[in-house]
Structure 1
Amino acid sequence: MALFHCTRDVNVVNPNPVPYRSCDLLQMQIKPLIYDEQLLWVSDGAGEVNTYRIPLLTFTSRGSLLAFTEARKNSSDDIGAKFIAMRRSRDRGATWSPTSFIVDDGILVDGLNLGSVVVDEQTGSVLLIYSLCFHKYQCSPSSTMLVESIDDGLSWSAPRNLSVQLGVKSFAPGPGFGIQKRLSPAAGRLVVCGHGTIEGDGVFCILSDDHGRTWRNGGSLRSIPYNQPKQSQDFNPDECQPVEMQDGSIMINVRNQNNYHCRCRMVVRSLDGGETLPVEELRFDQTLVVDPAVAAGALQKEDVLYFSNPANSQKRINMTLRWSYTNGSTWEGEAMQIWPGPSCYSSMTSLVGNSVEDKKYIYVIYEKGHKDCDETVSIAKIHLYGGR
């Protein structure tokens, strides 16, 4: 049971009131319900875009909701020229701006790959990190790129190449969101995690302690065998989503690409702000066994951990939301089906604030279709207590 508490007046019996959550949410079990859902992008081949894939989502420090996706110009393939498409909502997802293309990679054969978005709550900046030439297909070297908005997503800087600081090894952030550490160790640090290719595969994190001006390489969880071709059931951690836990550690939920040990998710923790990803902190989540090797969503909100993925061991179908009151060591037996049909990548966000209304909702952006999961990108606004 989620333990929410009301504030109480200080008195002789209770001189130390318990932390405020909300009287309306006092000891309420999570029972989610889709409050609203909208299609943000449709892959109909019209105009300059063939397919929309790899959705990201975040709230800005000013309360705007930003949605991003790859706009693949010529086909649905991972390799190819792309835009980064964005839509913006100022009313918590009720209405959305038209699509704008904030990055254009031109006619690159091995174009951009999204990517992670991270919000610096101290400066208000929104930073979007992506890769170019990730697969090194008819191009070299790979580059890690960054664009930044300092006006709540209205305009974006020219792309900045971080490979001067990080090196030219292929690094694909996320896909999902990066974090700014709220707690020690390393409070205020920006942490973005992603994965590599055959030139250096596994999970890697990059870190910034100066609000994104400079970046350096942090912790890594390297594949076995490293820098060599893989076989079924080799240890090959892949796409990942970090979240900060209540004790200041970073928990990273990882795609188990080659089904090492089980057809389930890997979970690794960093205890030092992303500096290291020790193998001693690696485990396999035996509850999240239903996973077709895919990028998934994770979110920590009000002491509850949420997880989204297509919950089917064989096919990318059945987009499902799970939740845990124990930091992911156990998961509730009940789960919520968001969409029964084809569904692939997903990402989640919520607005951090003191509003009771904002505490009730999370947002899931995901790839959704009837025949194939890349037909649309949809966003579901989920009322965490709406099914009661």
Structure 2
Amino acid sequence: MTLLRRAVLATAVLLTPYATARPAPAAGRRPPGTAPDASTPDPSAADTSVPYVSGRDGYAAYRIPAVVRTPRGTLLAFAEGRRDGPGDTGDIDLAVRRSADGGRTWGPPAVVAAGNGDTRGNPAPVVDPRTGAVVLVSCSNGGAVTEAQIMRGEVPPEQGRRVWVQHSHDDGRHFGAPREITASVKPASWRWYATGPGHAVALTRGPYAGRLVVPADHSTPPPPGSPDTGRESRYYAGHCLVSDDGGRTWGLGFTDDDPDDPDDPDGPAGTVNVNETTAAQLPDGRLYLNARDQGGTVPGNRVDAHSGDGGRTLTRPYAPQPTLADVPVVQGSVLQLDGAGAPLLFSAPSRPTARQALAVWRSTDGGATFTWALTLSDRPAAYSDLVQVDARTAGVLYETGGTGPYETIAFRLLPLAEL
């Protein structure tokens, strides 16, 4: 396909009217921190499509991307459709679009979990390796309550954070109704709760093959005598959900409820507040977890950990990942590529003080260290999710725009040879 034809195709995808449903060449190859490159393409460039545009189909904004590839090769791009604006509170649906051509074009959007005035969000999809079913785990809360109110424990359980699972058995065309699993995965003392966001993990090798693992975070009440102000990031902590029967039943894996104890001899020097988390299974079978550090006092904004028993326990508490020091406070994504010697990838913005310049890093030592590989553009950018499209190509679904990061959710194809 010629460069001109690719550019025309990508532009056509951007301009194609969206149906409402209810029930290239490398760019910006420069290390983070160098001067902006005026030739860096925008999201309508070659090898980029734009499945979600804020302001369309009754949604003021689309946020929080997640993407998986089904056994038939279909890509499913999930996002939150926010009716009231880009904020995290309000009437929010979970939507999906399907692509049968590797992310070059997308079918009409469909609502998979309707808010009906409440907030549905934090999509964490995964494909069950045994059956091929698409399993979607997500969260909800009352549309009129805020995260600060939930953190302060001011809302009744039915309006607080609740956890749900859905299945699709027809390649993502239809999903069953959300089924609540809160009682199985959320202790009564926890307040805030967030799955992912971004794709979850299906373990495919080792003694835990077939297990589904959803990385997540939560908040706990402050200790007696401490202020209960509601935005106390030091009370964020990490955990994961696990299922060994294709998502029918769920339980808790590890929990990291005391991540910010500076006197812990096995912990880092300073505080670590585990927030939005992403995970991948390494070639040796271990689980690698990488998380946003929300207001901690350790250096940088990314922390990580490993599990050698399928997510039941951590080999050590979360600790800073110094080779991702250019990443701001934001969600990120990891993906272990297939094949002997293939690297582990990480995606996130690459400006330490701004959500801008989405980049991809690679690791060849199981997440011990990361090296910059590619910067997509210098434009504003925020949340992202990685997926392997085929043997030669990966893709990244990410928030971006011309003047702000929440104008569109774009999908960019990434030739593996460039990574």
TM-score by shorter chain over 0.5 = yes
CA contact (8 A) 1:201 1:223 kept: no
Q: In the alignment, which residue of structure 1 is the partner of 2:4?
A: none
Match of 1:25 in 2: none
Matched, 1:209 2:247: no
Match of 1:300 among 328, 336, 351: 336
Of Structure 1 and Structure 2, which has the larger fraction of its residues in helix? 2
Of 285, 288, 311 in structure 1, the residue corresponding to residue 324 of structure 2 is 288
Give the deviation of 1:102 after TM superposition. 1.4
Q: CA deviation at 1:224?
A: 4.4
| Corresponding position of 2:289 | 252
Structure 2 CA distance for aligned equivalents of residues 249 and 47 of structure 1: 42
Q: CA deviation at 1:316?
A: 0.6
**2:130 aligned partner, one-letter code:** Q
> TM-score normalized by structure 2?
0.76
Comparing 214-223 with 123-132, greater Cα deviation is found at 214-223
Consecutive unaligned residues in structure 1, runs of 5 or more: 1-30, 227-232, 352-357
For the residue of structure 1 that corresponds to 2:378, the secondary structure is: strand
What is the aligned-residue RMSD (CA, Å)? 2.2
User: 2:378 maps to which residue?
Assistant: 340
1:178 partnered with 2:200: yes
- 1:384 is aligned to 2:392: no
Letter in 2 for 1:176: G
Alpha-carbon offset, residue 254 of structure 1: 0.9
CA contact (8 A) 2:327 2:348 kept: yes
Secondary structure of the structure 1 residue equivalent to 2:404: coil
Give the drift of 1:185: 3.0
How far apart are residue 339 of structure 1 and its match?
Answer: 2.1
Give the SS at the match of 1:49.
coil
Q: Secondary structure at the match of 1:164?
A: helix
Alignment of 1:272 with 2:315, yes or no, is no
Deviation of 1:52 after TM superposition, in Å, equals 0.2
Contact 2:66 2:198 in 1 (8 A): yes
Residue 151 (structure 1) shift: 0.7
Q: Corresponding residue for 1:349?
A: 387
Per-residue deviation, residues 93-124 of structure 1 (Å, max 9, x unmatched): 1221011111111012xx12212111102111
Q: Is the 8 A contact 1:223 1:236 kept in 2?
A: no
1:54 and 1:364 mapped to 2: Cα distance?
Answer: 13
Shift of 1:325: 2.1
Residue in structure 2 matched with residue 310 of structure 1 by the alignment: 349
- Give the alignment partner of residue 130 of structure 1, picking from 135, 138, 143: 138
Q: Is the 8 A contact 1:35 1:381 kept in 2?
A: no
Report the equivalent of 1:143. 162
1:165 is aligned to: 184
Q: 1:225 to 1:124 in 2, by over 3 A?
A: same
Cα distance in 1 for partners of 2:291, 2:364 equals 20
**Which residue of structure 2 lines up, in the alignment, with residue 114 of structure 1?**
122
The match for 1:322 is 361
How far 1:62 sits from its partner (Å)?
1.8
Post-superposition CA distance 1:298-335 (Å, at most 9, x none):
11113211111101111111101111222222333x53
SS across alignment from 2:183: helix
- Counterpart for residue 354 of structure 1: none
Q: How far apart in 2 are the matches of 1:197 and 1:242? A: 19
* TM norm structure 1: 0.82
Q: Distance in 2 between matches of 1:190 and 1:328?
A: 20
CA contact (8 A) 1:256 1:264 kept: yes
Query: Distance in 1 between the 2:295 and 2:121 partners?
Result: 21
Unaligned 5+ segments in structure 2 are 1-28, 31-40, 222-234, 262-269
Among the aligned pairs, what percent are the same residue? Answer: 30
Structure 2 residue aligned with 1:7: none
Structure 1 contact 270–281 (Cα < 8 Å) conserved: no
2:165–2:247 contact (8 Å) kept in structure 1: no
1:84 and 2:94 aligned: yes
Count of matched residue positions in the alignment of Structure 1 and Structure 2: 340
Q: Does 1:75 align with 2:75?
A: no
| Residues 1:281 and 1:203: Cα distance change in structure 2 (over 3 Å) | closer
AA aligned to 1:70 is E
Structure 2: how far apart are the matches of 1:84 and 1:139? 23
Which residue is equivalent to 2:52?
41
